[in-house]
Structure 1
Amino acid sequence: MRMMTVVPLFTLACSASADLPGGRLAGAKVTDTGGGEASCADAPEVTFTDVIVAAGAGPCFTSNRVRVVGDMLLTDDQWEPSELTCVCAIEGSLYINDNPALTSGLPFSNLEELTGNLYIQDNPLLTTLEGLHNVPSSGGAVYLTELPALVDMNGLRSLTSAQYELRIEETAASTVGLERFASVGLLHVEDYDGTDLAGLTGLSSLNVLQIDDCPNLTRIDGLTALTHLDTARIQDNDALIDLTGLSALTEVDGRLTVAGNDALVDFTGLEALREVGNLDVRNNPALSALTGLSALSDLNRLTLQDSPLVTSLTGLGPLTTVNHLTLSRLDGLTSLQGIEGVTRIRRDLSLRFLDGLTDLSGLEALAQVEGLSIEGCGGLESLDGLDALSTVTGELYLWSNDALERLDGAEALRTVGELTVIEHDVLVDVTALHGLDEVTDGLEIRGNASLATADAEALRDAIGTISGGITILNNAP
């Protein structure tokens, strides 16, 4: 991937000119040509709109140490390393891009200040980053992408931070060398061919973590210093077996997504995690247990879907209240045990296409929910488990549960916002809902092939008060 959205101010290309011996400076302004050694803070500045460098000409003809004001782009192998060794500061960004013959020898051994981005991209033969070993930080982003021959990142061993992003992409290079790297806004690792992130052990301050499409990554054990994240996404990593690298993580303010990781069997490594905004777990075909989430006590939303080997919710922490809970397409789930401590769901409980459930055991403590949706649960025979549920302030929606014959288990319900019971093949008895005192936003009983219309009408008549529309249609005669 090439990120060339910034037009550089300082372009290096091999092009001789008669203006200076072996080359020229076009539109360049040098504030001090006295030469000699100087501290970087006092070094002369080179300011320019464009600089063309050839052998014998370039910023280093002015001084042994030079501050470059502007962005620098090294591209197409058309630059002379000896003309850049004097650069001690770049008040801008450094781009080393699209050099097909470059193998080593990055000429920035004296560079000790970089206020903008460091982009090293699409250098197919580059094996080492040596030459950048004195760069302490980046005032922008650091991109290490499309570097298939790179061995490790030891050439960045002095790097401690980047203001915005560290991106590692399309390389197999070991992260060894980044041990001092402690702080960045976003860590984005994508299409990375390495097996671990062992060099990132010093990373302690991070807002956003994204690890995507890394086919050989088996562990993320270099992230052990992280305790807090704003958001995190760990997605489509075929070989990832656990999350042990996040063993110190206690809080994710926003969304934590764990999706499409073919080898992940549980959440080992997240034992310290107490608080998550939204936990989104999707399409992990080997996931069989929620082991590792035992400390989780504060959760806004849980979405668990498309993980066919999950058989129960045992392993979840001591949750008593959540805002949203969605369980969908979990073919192996036979029980809701694991959320038996939940007494209130402030918004919605959605149970969709859970063919292994025969009842709702595990929800015995649930007393109030805003919306309850039970859809396409082909093995569900009753609503046993809803013993304490008295109030559904929004909609109670029952749709196409093929084995549901009776609504036993819902006898405690007294108030429902909207009541919808539609398209059940074998439902014959709805008397469990005769204790309802009020339905505040409409009643619909439709398309239940075995439910006598008279029984549907009897439910209507048994409810104390119904506000809103009433539809009883296409049930059995």
Structure 2
Amino acid sequence: MILFLVTLIILMSFSCQEASNTYDPLVLECGKAESLEANLRPVLNPSFKKIEEPDLEVFIKELQGWKLQKNVFSSRSCLQINPEHTYFIRTKNKSLGQIFDGSRDSSEAIVLEPIIFPPLNNLCPEALYSSDKQVRLDFFQNQLTPSKFSELRRLTVEISSGQKKIYGWDLVDLAQLGSLQLPDNVLLQQGEYDLTIIENNYLQDIFGLKNTCKLRIDSSELDVMVSNLIQDVRTINGQDVAYVDTNYALDFLVPSGFRDVEVEYCVTEISYDQIRDFANNDEISPCIEANSFRSGAVTILDKGFFDLKYLAKKGNIQTNWKRTIIGIRSLCTGSIRSDGITIRMLDPRMDYCTDLNGKIDLILGKSVEDNVYEELKYISKLNGNGAIQGDVGQGRELSLVTVNGNFRITNSSLTNLDFLNGLNEVNGRLEIINNDNLLNMAGLSSLRQVSILRVYDNDSLTKIEFPRLRRALELDIKSKTDSIVDLPILEASSLILVENEGPSSSLIFKDLNELEFLDRLDIRAEVIEMLPGVPQMTKIESISLSISGEPEITDWNFEEIESLFIGGHVTPRTLTKLTAPIKTIGQSLALKGITGISDLSHLSHIDLAEGADVKLYEMPNIMSISGLRWPQNMGQLRLSGLNIVNLVVDIGVNTMGSLWVLDNPKLETISGFKGLTTVSGAIYSEGNDILSSLAGFEDLESVGRLILANSSSRSLHIQGLQNLKFIGRDFVSYSPLDEASGLVLPNLEGIEGRVLIKVDGDCAPSQLRPRFKQLLAADFDLSPVVYGGEPEFRNLYREVFGDDVYSRSNPIFFNGSMDLENCPDQDS
């Protein structure tokens, strides 16, 4: 029994020793919690492990923020507290912390929690909008995790414009961040401000961290407009003028209605000449005495021109003062000529004309009376044609904005077109031709739209620019001197034709960065330094380039082209640059004058669509036409002016629209059309003076016309056509046919047209005559055969090819005649 008690005492002793060294939530060095003094609190970490006092920092909340407190631990992890204060305690590594009220139950242990709270750094959106009495900072709320630590992060918010502070909120609690109230005496006008948010973060000792946002007061719901009774807006001397009809009752439109919107305005009559005073003046002074639109009397405008200023208010958001110049329209008919005025006002009360239904004709050699210019200065819309020649207009200003008709400036000695500086739109042709002293186009800098624009032969003009032109149905520009063409914001056109005819002058065609629609682009220049980039377009109907050299090319992204012509003296490098983006050609590919390439492998990446044409002209180094991705069924193949001797055409084409082989002086043979069974149009050979064989057409069964019109006396061997069964229309051979061909077309079953064959005497060669006698007796229809003679051949030639084609070569004389009925049978 004694041994048992001793053992029990020893075990209890060890147990007590272990207990005194164990940290229990309620048993700490500062004593049992229930017996602690009111001013002592135990501090624990989340796992109830004791925190040593040197690792802790304590802050007390004061009016201006949180202040670090020292010497507040009575013993290890025993914190002295005051019931009247709020405390923040954290570890020095800022990983754990707690905020608590000193008046709470002192027996409760202070348990530290993880601090996870990133600083507000670079969190501003691109722009912040406000449209009511409050500035909303909702975007900050998205960056804040709700936490009991929120009050340890304080913000100062300021609104400023430039260096001027407009209003601020100091030491804003994060809980208030949803929206900040503006006082009634602070009015923010529409515009952009700087919104600066300064963070004081006691959690992580980050002080004075700035975020600056752009605050845009957006009063779009206050976007007040003058009434939609405005007929149109015209730019007069650089200032927009809203034209209305007489007896106009001033009215405003508010998109959201007038429920809470107040409009204030004032209106002042001005002279026509005063309009220019507002053109470059962006500052609008407030009305001295403003009228209220909702409660004031209706303002009637019946004649003349007016300066209208107005603004809108809703709550403490107000728009800036706005200005609209209002003009009262006056319609007239008749004409204005150099020597006088013949017009009639439709409203007899008016003493000026703004819209003329008639014409303006100022002619070279006639003096222009001052009263003509006085009348012209009011006319901003011309419904008719205009013409200016000579020196008229120099030093004067017209007010034309819109021309619904044609307008011509020709054969003048004008140096500029400044008198047309307001011209905005020409719904017709605008022609500027043969003005030898014209130095620039600055006077047309307001032109935005034109149907057809022609600028020809203005010998002193070196820069052709239309900085505001957006739409033109056709642009036709021709010059003979070094020229720069600049159409920076052109968006759409059907045709752009730019031609520089000077043999040594250069052309720079600047990029068409805004162009989104174009049917045809045609550029012709002996020397071109820059081709226009067209970054917005990948598809176009037609491109025609007759250029030389290696121009700068950027943003040339056409992938789909219906018709492409590249000519002039383009180098292989330029050909590669121009065609690199192209994936498909839909209708026609034509190349002319390109040197340095022996085949078409530069274009091997391009797919030709079914039915597409290929035309090759004057390419001296071409030895083969292989390299393209040929379709099985193509349109026309035209080979002209090549130095090729033996044309081997291994392209895998089954059907063809037509084959034209013209003016190839070295061409001796054509072979390799294996698989070609049908040519729906003509096979036409002319000007191939030493061509002796057509052996390459062994698979050909049907042809629309067969025209062999070489001018030499060399016989043509056509044995390659032995499988030809049908000629849809005419068989014409101006070339003597080689009798060695035997029965020239042994499998021919029909000719629906006429036959014309050159012979040396009165009768056909012995090998031909019997076959054609056989054809005459055949069952198929053979129209009357033309038996030679110059008139018959010429008429047929014209009928087949037309007068233009006939006239391009020497007149063709037919030696002898072919009379199958009367010639004796040479076999008998």
Structure 1 length as normaliser, TM-score?
0.70
Distance in 2 of aligned mates of 1:422 and 1:476: 21
Distance in 2 of aligned mates of 1:104 and 1:150: 14
Q: Closer, same or farther in 2 for the Cα pair 1:92/1:396, shift >3 Å?
A: closer
1:385 corresponds to which of 650, 668, 672: 672
Q: Closer, same or farther in 2 for the Cα pair 1:367/1:355, shift >3 Å?
A: same
Q: Does residue 197 in structure 1 map to residue 485 in structure 2? A: yes
Distance in 1 of aligned mates of 2:432 and 2:758: 63
Gaps of 5+ in 1: 1-31
Cα distance per residue 1:270-316 (max 9 Å; x no partner): 9433555554556x255667431341623324444566776544444
164-173 vs 72-81, which moves further = 72-81
Q: Does residue 92 in structure 1 map to residue 403 in structure 2? A: no
The structure whose residues are more often helix, as a share, is 2
The letter for the 2-side match of 1:78 is V
The letter for the 2-side match of 1:243 is L
Specify the alignment match of 1:80 in structure 2.
Answer: 370
1:409-448 counterparts in 2 under 5 A? 409-416=696-703, 432-434=720-722, 436=723, 438-441=725-728, 447-448=735-736
1:48-59 counterparts in 2 under 5 A? 48=334
Alignment check: 8 A CA contact 1:33 1:44 kept = no
Give the match's secondary structure for 1:364: coil
Q: Closer, same or farther in 2 for the Cα pair 1:151/1:437, shift >3 Å?
A: closer
Higher RCO (C-alpha 8 Å, min separation 6): 1
Larger radius of gyration: 2
2:470 corresponds to which of 182, 188, 196: 182
Q: Does residue 226 in structure 1 map to residue 519 in structure 2? A: no
Cα distance per residue 1:400-457 (max 9 Å; x no partner): 64555554544444444555667687778655544x26244576777558x4x2x311
Question: Alignment length, in residue pairs?
Answer: 423
Specify the alignment match of 1:466 in structure 2.
Answer: 749
Distance in 2 of aligned mates of 1:267 and 1:293: 14
Q: Closer, same or farther in 2 for the Cα pair 1:161/1:293, shift >3 Å?
A: same
Alignment check: 8 A CA contact 1:63 1:86 kept = no
The letter for the 1-side match of 2:648 is L
Alignment check: 8 A CA contact 2:513 2:534 kept = yes
Specify the alignment match of 1:168 in structure 2.
Answer: 455
Distance in 1 of aligned mates of 2:429 and 2:629: 46
Q: Closer, same or farther in 2 for the Cα pair 1:242/1:380, shift >3 Å?
A: farther
Distance in 2 of aligned mates of 1:446 and 1:48: 65
The structure whose residues are more often strand, as a share, is 2
Deviation at 1:336, TM superposition (A): 0.9
Deviation at 1:268, TM superposition (A): 5.7
Identity, % of aligned positions: 16
Q: Does residue 243 in structure 1 map to residue 243 in structure 2? A: no
1:78-477 counterparts in 2 under 5 A? 78-80=368-370, 83-84=374-375, 87=378, 89-92=380-383, 95=386, 97-100=388-391, 103-108=394-399, 112-127=401-416, 129-162=417-450, 164-171=451-458, 172-173=460-461, 175=463, 178-191=466-479, 193=481, 195-198=483-486, 200-215=487-502, 216-235=505-524, 237-241=525-529, 243-245=531-533, 250-253=538-541, 256-259=543-546, 261=547, 263=548, 271-276=556-561, 278-279=563-564, 284-285=568-569, 290-291=575-576, 292-294=578-580, 295=582, 297-305=584-592, 311-316=598-603, 317-346=606-635, 348-361=636-649, 363-398=650-685, 401=688, 404=691, 406-416=693-703, 432-434=720-722, 436=723, 438-441=725-728, 447-448=735-736, 451=738, 453=739, 455-461=740-746, 463=747, 465-468=748-751
Deviation at 1:378, TM superposition (A): 3.5
Alignment check: 8 A CA contact 1:36 1:63 kept = no
Distance in 2 of aligned mates of 1:159 and 1:36: 24
Deviation at 1:80, TM superposition (A): 3.0
1:66-77 counterparts in 2 under 5 A? 66-70=353-357, 71-75=359-363, 76=366
Give the match's secondary structure for 2:528: coil
Q: Closer, same or farther in 2 for the Cα pair 1:68/1:394, shift >3 Å?
A: closer
Alignment check: 8 A CA contact 1:125 1:149 kept = yes
Distance in 2 of aligned mates of 1:51 and 1:431: 75
Distance in 2 of aligned mates of 1:471 and 1:116: 57
Distance in 2 of aligned mates of 1:122 and 1:293: 41
Give the match's secondary structure for 1:83: helix
Give the match's secondary structure for 1:196: strand
Distance in 1 of aligned mates of 2:713 and 2:641: 16
Give the match's secondary structure for 2:611: strand
Specify the alignment match of 1:14 in structure 2.
Answer: none
Gaps of 5+ in 2: 1-300, 308-324, 768-828
Cα distance per residue 1:318-365 (max 9 Å; x no partner): 21433443334433322213434232223x32323422242234x422
Once superposed, what is the RMSD of the aligned Cα atoms? 4.5
The letter for the 2-side match of 1:330 is M
Deviation at 1:63, TM superposition (A): 7.8
Q: Closer, same or farther in 2 for the Cα pair 1:425/1:364, shift >3 Å?
A: farther
Structure 2 length as normaliser, TM-score?
0.43
